[in-house]
Amino acid sequence: MAHLMKYTRGAVHGILTHDERKKDETKEYKNKDIDKSKTHLNYSFIHDEKSAEERLKSRLNDLDVSKRSDVNVLASWVVTLPKEVKEKDQKKFFNYVNEFLTQKYGKDNIISSDVHFDETTPHIHFCFVPVVPNKKKNATKDYKVSAKELLNKTHLQQFHDDLNYYISNKLGYESGILNGATTQNKSIKEMKREEINKLSRIIEKEPEIKKGIFSKNETVKIPVDEYEILKKKTQDYINSQNAKFLNDLLAENERLKKEKAKIRDDAQNAINEAQAKADKAIAEAQEKATAQIEAAKAATEHEIMEMKACIRVYDDVYPKAKARIKRLENENATMKQMIQSRGRGR
């Protein structure tokens, strides 16, 4: 079975710490389902000196990544070892899964690939950055991070069939990846919850167990006092798992509330900032336009005053100039007559 999870920047530390089996401050693993006596059986397909978080940071630097807090920058496939896989083929199974996922999502985008044998069922955690071509105009980087575009509905519907075909073809027999949990895409918590419920139903069949009926195909004999001890231990385990499940659920709900509130506050702050910038730009534009109008008005009034002054000068000078011109014309005519008279006298 295979299950996909997606993580924001704020959530990657938890999953990568779990995958690399890093302990908390108390020197204990936070996941109480881990059997430390089997941890040495775990192994990784990534072999370098960097931590998974360092590899993630380095890869994100090469990509176009939105700064929004709700953007999923990491995706993780958890593929559980099916019971149909033969014991001698277990390592081959995980090798083929890692090979398939590497080819599908690109070697450069792999952040971690770890196989765990120290939990209830062996499984592989394959973490990668969801990368697609960057089609933005004027983009400075060729690829961007987008889980929404890469891991869409069509991709997920085809994934399990493709994985099952690839693994089964490599093994030479049906791998058993396709089952109810896979087709319903159940989470790890949901599958663990179902196991607890199955155990609860067994305990509820007290009369049948006391009679020695354990299942349709086998019977067991157990003293009543030992049965009561077993029942109490099992019920205590169920109660502890129920309490843990509830606490995890409440913690996740609280985290989602805080994240939702932060997103809302960030959006409101962005709106307020944009509104303030718009108001400032409008005020500056209005002030500039008013100044330009006043300057044009003053220039126009000045030109009008100059034109009026010119008109007044014209009205005053023109009649005098016209009279003088007339006088000069008369004097000129008189002089012409005098000259002509003198000419005839000679």
Q: Give 259's contacts (C-beta < 8 A, 6+ positions apart).
A: 8, 10, 69, 70
CB 72 within 8 A of CB 151: no
**Which amino acid does the sequence have at 275?**
Q
Q: What whole-number percentage of the chain has pLDDT above 70?
A: 81
Q: What residues contact residue 97 under an 8 Å CB cut-off, 6+ apart? A: 79, 124, 126, 163, 167
Length of the chain: 346
pLDDT tens-digit series, residues 133-190: 999 888 889 999 999 999 999 999 999 999 999 999 999 999 888 864 444 444 445 5
* Integer angstrom CA distances of residue 248 from 78, 80, 245, 286, 306: 19, 22, 5, 57, 87
Q: Which of the four pLDDT bands, split at 50, 70 and 90, describes residue 110?
A: very high
Q: Does the pLDDT of residue 216 top 50, yes or no?
A: no
Beta bridge partners of 115: 43, 124
Each residue of 184-215: pLDDT tens digit? 444 445 545 555 555 555 555 544 444 444 44
Distance from the Cα of residue 249 to its chain's centroid? 23
CA dist 91 and 165 (Å) reads 18
pLDDT at 184: 46
> Nearest CA to 161 among 175, 150, 147?
175
For 145, half-sphere exposure in the C-beta direction (CA atoms, 13 angstrom radius) is 25
Q: What is the CATH topology of the domain spanning 1-186?
A: BirA Bifunctional Protein; domain 2 (3.30.930)
The pLDDT value given to residue 238:
85
Mean pLDDT of 249-258: 88
CA distance 256 to 8: 12
* Mean pLDDT of all residues belonging to the chain: 82
Q: In the predicted model, is pLDDT for residue 32 greater than 80?
A: no
Q: Is 293 left (phi over 0), alpha (psi -120 to 50) or beta?
A: alpha
Where in the chain are the domains? 1-186
